[in-house]
C-alpha cells in the first residue's frame, strides 16, 4: 500500500475535477441546443414552496451519505469516528466522480480506510463487503420494481414507443447489460465471501493465464487475496450486523433515488405527479443507475444527462428535460467534486505532510 501511495494521491488530485465538469457542461449545452423548444422555460416555476423541495433534494443526498457513514462504522466495528467516516465517504465519492462509472472509487477506498487507522486486511474486507451490499441492493430491488411497475412502463420513452421490442429500446438493452454484469459480480463475490475464497482465487489466477489478459494477472492475484481477507473477516458475522449494514445501504440508495422526485416537484409542483407516478420515477432512477455502469466517462458525465433527458421525458414537459437534468447533477454529482477538492488537501496534509515531519 505504501508503495502505491504516490500513484493514488496523484489519481485523486483536485485538478482532475476539470474534465468531468467540462464534459458535463458540454453535454448539457449541446443537448439544450438540440432539444430546445421555444417557450419551454415558461413551464418551469419557482416559488417559496419550490425552495423547500429543492432543499429537500439536498437533504436526501445528505441522508444518503449519512447512511454510508453508518455502514462504514458498522463494518469497522466503530473503530473510526464520524469525522473520519465523513472524510472517507467524501474522498470515495470524489474518486467515483472523476473516474469512469465502471471503475468507480472502490479501487482506492482501501487506501482511504487504511490511512484512518484500520488495518489493511480489515480495510480490504470492508471495501469488498460494501461493494457486495451495494450490488445486492440492486440485484434484489430491480426485479421487485419490474414486478410492481411492469417492464412496459418502466422502460417506455414516450407514448409512441411503449410497444417497441426490447432489443430496439436502447435503455432496456443498457439496463439488461448492467444488471447481468452486477448479477455475475454479486454471485462471484458471494461465492468467494461465504464458500470458497481460496478456490475462487485459484480460478481467477488460472483464467488470467490466458495470453490476452495475462498482463492483468497481478491485479487478479490481489483481488483474490482481497476475497480471502474479506471471507476471514465476515463469514461468521452475526445476522444482526448484516441487517444493520444492509439497512444502511438501502437507506442510502433509496434516499438518492428520491432526489429526482423532489426536483420534479420543485419546478412543476405537487400536482405534477401522483403516488403511482412517484414510484415509477423511483423505478426509473434505479434503472438509470444500472445503465450508467456502462458509461466510459468520468462519473458518467454526459451519458447521465442524456439518459436522464430521454428516460424521464414522459414526466417532464418537452424542452425542459435538459434543464432538470442539469439541476439533478447539480444536486447529486457536482457537490462531491467541490467537497472532495476541499477535503483532499487537508486529508493529505494530516496523513502525509504532518506525519512525515514527525
Q: Residue 82 pLDDT more than 80?
A: yes
Q: Residue 64 pLDDT more than 90?
A: yes
Collapsing DSSP states into helix, strand and coil, what is residue 1? coil
Longest dimension (CA), the chain: 68
pLDDT in tens, 178-197: 788 888 888 888 887 788 88
Displacement of CA 251 from its chain's centroid (Å): 14
Backbone angles phi, psi at 100, to 5 degrees: -55, 145
Q: What is the pTM of this model?
A: 0.78
Give the angle 194-197-198 at the CA atoms, nearest 5°: 150
Number of neighbouring beta carbons within 10 Å of residue 43: 15
| Per-residue pLDDT band at 48 (split at 50, 70, 90) | confident
Contacts of 152 (CB under 8 A, 6+ apart): 162
Task: Output 319 or 118, whichever has higher pLDDT.
Answer: 118
- State how far the Cα of 166 lies from the Cα of 222, in Å rounded to an integer: 39
Q: How far apart are the first and last CA of the chain?
A: 20
Displacement of CA 68 from its chain's centroid (Å): 12
Q: Residue 276 pLDDT more than 50?
A: yes
Q: C-alpha grid cell for residue 119?
A: 488495518
- What percent of the chain stands above pLDDT 90? 13
Cα–Cα distances in angstroms (integers) from residue 65 to residues 61, 144, 308, 330, in the given order: 6, 24, 22, 16
Q: Residue 324 pLDDT more than 80?
A: no
The dihedral over CA atoms of 89, 91, 96, 98, expressed in degrees to the nearest 10, equals: 160
Q: C-alpha grid cell for residue 219?
A: 491485479
| Spans of all domains in the chain | 2-357
Give the angle 108-111-113 at the CA atoms, nearest 5°: 115
In the block, cell 411497475 appears at: 149
- State how far the Cα of 135 lies from the Cα of 181, in Å rounded to an integer: 10
Mean pLDDT of the 110-133 span: 82
Q: C-alpha grid cell for residue 53?
A: 423541495
Q: C-alpha grid cell for residue 25?
A: 457542461
- State how far the Cα of 272 lies from the Cα of 315, in Å rounded to an integer: 8
Number of neighbouring beta carbons within 10 Å of residue 81: 12
Contacts of 326 (CB under 8 A, 6+ apart): 28, 305
Amino acid at each position: 500500500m505504501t508503495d502505491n501511495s504516490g500513484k493514488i494521491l496523484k489519481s485523486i488530485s483536485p485538478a482532475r475535477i476539470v474534465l468531468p465538469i467540462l464534459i458535463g457542461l458540454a453535454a448539457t449545452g449541446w443537448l439544450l441546443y438540440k432539444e430546445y423548444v421555444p417557450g419551454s422555460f415558461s413551464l418551469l416555476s419557482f416559488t417559496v414552496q419550490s425552495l423547500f423541495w429543492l432543499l429537500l433534494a439536498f437533504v436526501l443526498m445528505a441522508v444518503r451519505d449519512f447512511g454510508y457513514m453508518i455502514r462504514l462504522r458498522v463494518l469497522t466495528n466503530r473503530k473510526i469516528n464520524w469525522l473520519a467516516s465523513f472524510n472517507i465517504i467524501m474522498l470515495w465519492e470524489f474518486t467515483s466522480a472523476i473516474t469512469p462509472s465502471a471503475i468507480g472509487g472502490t479501487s482506492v477506498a482501501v487506501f482511504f480506510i487504511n490511512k484512518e487507522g484500520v488495518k489493511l486486511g480489515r480495510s480490504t474486507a470492508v471495501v469488498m463487503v460494501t461493494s457486495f451490499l451495494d450490488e445486492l441492493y440492486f440485484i434484489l430491488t430491480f426485479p421487485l420494481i419490474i414486478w410492481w411497475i411492469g417492464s412496459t412502463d418502466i422502460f417506455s420513452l414516450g407514448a409512441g414507443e411503449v410497444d417497441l421490442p426490447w432489443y430496439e429500446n436502447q435503455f432496456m438493452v443498457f439496463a439488461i447489460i448492467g444488471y447481468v454484469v452486477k448479477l455475475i459480480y454479486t454471485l462471484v463475490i458471494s461465492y468467494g465471501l461465504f464458500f470458497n475464497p481460496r478456490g475462487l482465487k485459484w480460478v481467477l489466477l488460472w483464467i488470467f493465464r490466458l495470453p490476452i489478459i495475462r498482463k492483468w494477472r497481478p491485479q487478479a492475484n490481489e483481488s483474490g487475496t482481497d476475497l480471502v481477507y474479506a471471507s476471514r473477516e465476515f463469514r461468521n458475522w452475526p445476522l444482526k450486523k448484516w441487517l444493520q449494514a444492509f439497512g444502511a445501504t438501502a437507506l442510502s440508495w433509496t434516499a438518492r433515488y428520491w432526489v429526482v422526485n423532489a426536483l420534479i416537484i420543485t419546478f412543476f409542483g405537487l400536482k405534477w405527479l401522483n403516488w403511482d407516478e412517484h414510484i415509477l420515477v423511483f423505478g426509473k432512477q434505479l434503472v438509470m443507475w444500472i445503465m450508467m455502469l456502462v458509461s466510459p466517462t468520468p462519473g458518467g458525465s454526459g451519458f447521465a444527462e442524456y439518459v436522464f433527458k430521454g428516460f424521464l421525458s414522459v414526466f417532464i414537459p418537452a424542452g425542459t428535460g435538459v434543464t432538470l437534468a442539469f439541476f439533478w447533477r447539480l444536486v447529486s454529482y457536482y457537490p462531491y467534486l467541490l467537497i472532495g477538492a476541499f477535503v483532499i488537501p487537508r486529508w493529505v496534509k494530516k496523513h502525509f505532510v504532518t506525519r512525515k515531519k514527525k
